[in-house]
Homo-oligomer: A and B are copies of this chain.
């Protein structure tokens, strides 16, 4: 079990966008180059962030991506779930008599992690 690289790309891109002014957009070319990933692949990832409503895209000359929501609102959890989805990390398919106690423990553990990711906002990382 690992977080996907896509999540890493998304987090780094969001940090870059939050650090830059929200006025003029940054092209995917530039964002991709900074991370050593292909522009087409990165754009696929960024499209998911657009759909989640945390960034905006602009086509055409001088287009690109910029932050849309209030910077203060965007948490690590938001970004991660936009990429990885929000399904539970642990799924027990067996049909026990009752509810699965193991799954309950796993879910609690997961929630500890999530609550930390929810408390951390991406803008907290901006270097002064």
List residues of chain A with CB under 8 Å of any chain B CB: 1-4, 7-8, 11-12, 15, 35-36, 76, 84, 87, 89-94, 101-102, 105-106, 108-110, 112-117, 120, 125
Contacts and interface: CB of A to CB of B under 8 A. Distances in A.
A77 to B, nearest CB: 9
8 contacts: A1-B7, A1-B89, A2-B91, A12-B94, A12-B102, A102-B125, A109-B114, A109-B116
A108 B117 CA distance: 9
B35 A94 contact: yes
Given A92-B8, A112-B115, A84 B1 contact: yes
Q: In this complex, which of A7, A93, A113 has the most chain B Cβ atoms within 10 angstroms of its Cβ?
A: A113
